[in-house]
Chains A and B, each alone.
Chain A
Amino acid sequence: MSREVMEYDVVIVGGGPSGLATAIKIKQLDTNLNVCLLEKASEIGAHILSGNVFETRALDELITNWKDLNAPVKTKVNKEKFLFLGKSKSLSWPTWLLPSVQKNHNNYIISLANLCRWLAEQAEALGVEIFPGFPASEILYNEDGSVKGIATQDMGLDKEGNKKDSYEQGMELHAKVTVFAEGCRGHLGKKLIEKFELDKGKNPQQYGIGFKEIWEIKEENHHEGLVMHTAGWPLDNKTYGGSFVYHAENKQVFLGYVIGLDYKNPHLSPFDEFQRFKTHPSIKSIIEGGKRISYGARALIEGGLQSLPKMYMPGALLVGCDAGTLNMPKIKGSHTAMKSGIIAAETIVESLKENKDLSIYEDKFKKSWVYKELHAARNVKPSFSWGLILGIIFTGIDQILFRGKLPFTLKHKHADHETLKPANVMPKIDYPKPDNIITFDKTSSVYLTGTNHTENQPVHLQLKDKDLPIKYTLEKFAEPAQRYCPVGVYEIQNENNLEKFVINSQNCIHCKTCDIKEPSQNITWVTPEGGGGPKYGNM
């Protein structure tokens, strides 16, 4: 049966900051263009998770009067701290000695999910058609090979792919230009990068996994507007990562941890490192007596300019972290994602009006401040492959003395799935048990994410070789999926002395870490039925 088709001028896949900025800018430039935006979450914002200390530069350009329109950007940063953590001690680093990219005095502590909800309202007011709950699951191509649009997922299939009573066929959305704004490791973006060889001549992309918890803390421990970052313990010198502690409004603290997915020890559990981090005296003293109210995790891009793929192809553009525009030393990607969306919108309107090729996106991008930022930031992350100490020394020289203008570019040598060492040569890590006050297990954490997927639907975490986890990955790497997954989707169960690899896909919070870190790239994340996944509030 052929699918129903709708024609639009522009179809945007993903309702995060980059996709929404694209949509808004297009309608501002030409209100007659038909713009449709699809989002896989049950509502805009429900799959958004971010720190977030927000630089308003792109928002200032997009919606100049955002303050009058009551944008949820309210808590200005008023104090900053940077701590190096030892096991029980901490050393405060003077903020005047921080590179300027890490200074935040003009920025705001926000919930990016709430900002996206607000951006969606602005977009709808301009006439953008927004459809949450509809994942784009398939790319459609014209005969000449250019991107024609996307198709939404069929709904109501059972595990074996048979139609249930509730079956609804997916729909084709055709567009003159399709914009992919799925965020880090978008599953369609990944296919496009491969098909059009967009990453040719680029370094392998680098990723991290970021955790976030929201705590409601005691009044006396709360300092609205305080931003704190830490490096060091509990990670060793060789593992890239650090924490953030942002004091937001309503006595809430946004507490998070980011670990580079280029870590080498398969016994490492990012989730448990995060939990352990909270037991450090300088962190525990903040949250003690408080209550954890939210939890979530999401992979993020760390590769920067060296790994940034070409962002245009016939009929389509990549924006935001579907390409990888995050500024790693700034630990910020929302403003760059939005700016890439603004540039994409300008490209689209110009290309449709004047019949120009989409390749003008690249020139525009290179002339913009995003490119300058990413260029100045490019050497920071690769320098940390020499370890924390050398990384900090180099970053000091690169960022403070030379302001990112050193005449060379360091390379990312390996993709993250290539970095694990065999389990038998790496030390096992003994993580403390959760106390259910400060630290928690994965089960109680996933409960806070509101995650659900309809039962009896095709498993959306697909194995290329279903025997590989037990036959190879378990023996060689002690099956690290059990540990890198932040919600315990993957388990090794022992039944009658037979080991079994179990995928609890219902718990998946769409972070994409497995798709990135699986050493043989054996796991592919595809879209589950629409509306599934986490239901984040103000993450």
Chain B
Amino acid sequence: MKILVAVKRVIDYNVQVRVKEDGTGVVTDNVKMSTNPPDDNAVEEAVKIKESGKAKEIVAVTVGEEKAQETVRKALAVGADRGIHIKVDGIIEPLAVSKILQKIVEKEKPDLVFMGKQAIDDDCNQTGQMLSALLNWPQATFASKIEFKENKLEIVREVDEGLETIEVNVPAVVTCDLRLNEPRYASLPNIMKAKKKPIEQINASDLGVDTKQRIEQIKVEEPPKRKAGIKVANVAELVQKLKNEAKVI
């Protein structure tokens, strides 16, 4: 079995994101970037499956600018076998990413495609679903547990009402939840070895995929500042304020 894992380079989750003054986007210059956290879970799960003997090869793929390679390199350091970097500059929307991944799936012929359930920068939560539609493969989103049942996968999904267990046929697209596992650290020796693993670079334009933006971004602005709270003396005052000022009861 072969697993393709898609990873994305995003602003590190600890960094306080700052909106550009002119409202055209967020500041990314000299900002710490990392792999999208649920993508780390996707890589970890693939590595675990390989360690259990059920998979033979893990290929990590990313779509983005030159530096996006770092995320593939990190996947290689924790256990992926080789990497693919689809080079494209500027903003790239989920549909274009899905179409690019479709081409890579056609080329690599994996049995499973793993990725994070959504990226923490645009929060789109679309790429996995659109890829499954393009491939006409089953999809299992928000996976928090993955088990092999002969030729099928039994997957527990994190949904609003609780946990949902489903069965999907293989090949399939699985998007991973943060609860799926605890990603391991890349050890220094493995990072050293990962520097020697191959990463294939492909220009997005060579894949014949139209990466033109479909969505026009009008403005990016900060959420309104939360007002300071107040202390009330007693329950009666609280009820009165909720009723008359906040008008929520």
Interfacial residues, chain A to chain B (CB-CB below 8 A): 4, 6, 42-43, 45-46, 111, 113-114, 117, 129, 131, 134, 152, 155-156, 164-166, 168-171, 216, 293, 447-448, 450-452, 530, 535, 537-538
Residues 66-87 of B, flagged 1 when their CB comes within 8 A of A and 0 if not, give 0000000000000000000000
Give the Cβ gap from B20 to chain A, nearest Cβ, in Å.
Answer: 11
Of the residues A152, A166, A452, contact of B14 by C-beta under 8 Å? A452
Residues 212-228 of B, flagged 1 when their CB comes within 8 A of A and 0 if not, give 00000000000000000
* B52 contacts partner chain A, Cβ-Cβ < 8 Å: no
Quick check: A46 and B32 within 8 Å, CB to CB?
yes
A159 to B182, CA, bound (A): 17
In the complex, the 7 A-B pairs of residues with the closest C-beta atoms, listed nearest first: A155-B185, A452-B14, A168-B187, A535-B32, A450-B15, A168-B185, A450-B14
Residues 184-207 of B, flagged 1 when their CB comes within 8 A of A and 0 if not, give 111111011000000000000000
A171 to B190, CA, bound (A): 11
* B110 contacts partner chain A, Cβ-Cβ < 8 Å: no
A164 to B189, CA, bound (A): 19
* A-chain residues with CB within 8 Å of residue B189 when the two chains form the complex: 4, 6, 171
Give the Cβ gap from A131 to chain B, nearest Cβ, in Å.
Answer: 6
* B-chain residues with CB within 8 Å of residue A6 when the two chains form the complex: 188-189, 192
Once A6-B192, A535-B32, A537-B31 are accepted as A-B contacts, the answer to whether A165 and B184 lie under 8 Å apart by CB is: yes
Quick check: A447 and B16 within 8 Å, CB to CB?
yes
Give the Cβ gap from B216 to chain A, nearest Cβ, in Å.
Answer: 27
* B-chain residues with CB within 8 Å of residue A166 when the two chains form the complex: 182-185
Quick check: A535 and B14 within 8 Å, CB to CB?
yes
Known: A117-B30, A156-B185. 13 other contacts (CB 8 A): A6-B192, A42-B12, A45-B30, A113-B30, A134-B188, A164-B182, A166-B184, A168-B186, A216-B21, A450-B12, A535-B12, A537-B15, A538-B29
* B179 contacts partner chain A, Cβ-Cβ < 8 Å: no
Give the Cβ gap from B12 to chain A, nearest Cβ, in Å.
Answer: 6
* B18 contacts partner chain A, Cβ-Cβ < 8 Å: yes
Once A42-B32, A164-B182, A216-B21 are accepted as A-B contacts, the answer to whether A171 and B187 lie under 8 Å apart by CB is: yes
Quick check: A171 and B188 within 8 Å, CB to CB?
yes
Closest chain B residue, CB of each to CB of A293: B18
A398 to B27, CA, bound (A): 47
* B-chain residues with CB within 8 Å of residue A538 when the two chains form the complex: 29-30
Give the Cβ gap from B192 to chain A, nearest Cβ, in Å.
Answer: 7
Of the residues A45, A171, A535, contact of B15 by C-beta under 8 Å? A535
A200 to B182, CA, bound (A): 48
Give the Cβ gap from B161 to chain A, nearest Cβ, in Å.
Answer: 28
Give the Cβ gap from B152 to chain A, nearest Cβ, in Å.
Answer: 26
Residues 17-42 of B, flagged 1 when their CB comes within 8 A of A and 0 if not, give 01001000000011110100000000
Quick check: A43 and B184 within 8 Å, CB to CB?
no
Of the residues B16, B30, B32, B187, contact of A114 by C-beta under 8 Å? B30
* B-chain residues with CB within 8 Å of residue A131 when the two chains form the complex: 188, 191
A168 to B183, CA, bound (A): 11
Determine chain B's interface SS by DSSP, over half rule. loop
How many chain B residues sit at the interface, stated as a range, is 20 to 34
15 contacts between A and B (CB under 8 A): A4-B188, A6-B188, A6-B189, A42-B12, A43-B32, A156-B185, A164-B182, A165-B184, A293-B18, A450-B16, A535-B12, A535-B14, A535-B15, A537-B31, A538-B30
A450 to B11, CA, bound (A): 11
A448 to B184, CA, bound (A): 27
* A-chain residues with CB within 8 Å of residue B31 when the two chains form the complex: 537
Residue of A43, A129, A293, A448 with most chain B CB atoms under a 10 A cut-off: A43
Give the Cβ gap from A14 to chain B, nearest Cβ, in Å.
Answer: 16
* B-chain residues with CB within 8 Å of residue A165 when the two chains form the complex: 182, 184
A134 to B77, CA, bound (A): 14
Residue of A114, A131, A293, A537 with most chain B CB atoms under a 10 A cut-off: A537
A165 to B47, CA, bound (A): 14
Give the Cβ gap from B101 to chain A, nearest Cβ, in Å.
Answer: 28
* A-chain residues with CB within 8 Å of residue B32 when the two chains form the complex: 42-43, 46, 450, 535, 537
Quick check: B185 and A537 within 8 Å, CB to CB?
no
A199 to B151, CA, bound (A): 69
Quick check: B30 and A169 within 8 Å, CB to CB?
no
Quick check: A152 and B12 within 8 Å, CB to CB?
no
A216 to B34, CA, bound (A): 26
A535 to B11, CA, bound (A): 11
Closest chain B residue, CB of each to CB of A251: B21
Closest chain B residue, CB of each to CB of A534: B14
* B-chain residues with CB within 8 Å of residue A450 when the two chains form the complex: 12, 14-16, 32
Give the Cβ gap from A392 to chain B, nearest Cβ, in Å.
Answer: 37
* B-chain residues with CB within 8 Å of residue A114 when the two chains form the complex: 30
A448 to B189, CA, bound (A): 33
A156 to B29, CA, bound (A): 31
* A-chain residues with CB within 8 Å of residue B182 when the two chains form the complex: 164-166
Residue of B29, B184, B187 with most chain A CB atoms under a 10 A cut-off: B187
Once A114-B30, A537-B30 are accepted as A-B contacts, the answer to whether A169 and B187 lie under 8 Å apart by CB is: yes
Closest chain B residue, CB of each to CB of A38: B188
A102 to B189, CA, bound (A): 47
Quick check: B14 and A451 within 8 Å, CB to CB?
yes
Closest chain B residue, CB of each to CB of A134: B188
* A-chain residues with CB within 8 Å of residue B192 when the two chains form the complex: 6, 129
A538 to B18, CA, bound (A): 13
* B-chain residues with CB within 8 Å of residue A43 when the two chains form the complex: 32
Give the Cβ gap from A150 to chain B, nearest Cβ, in Å.
Answer: 11
* A-chain residues with CB within 8 Å of residue B188 when the two chains form the complex: 4, 6, 131, 134, 152, 170-171
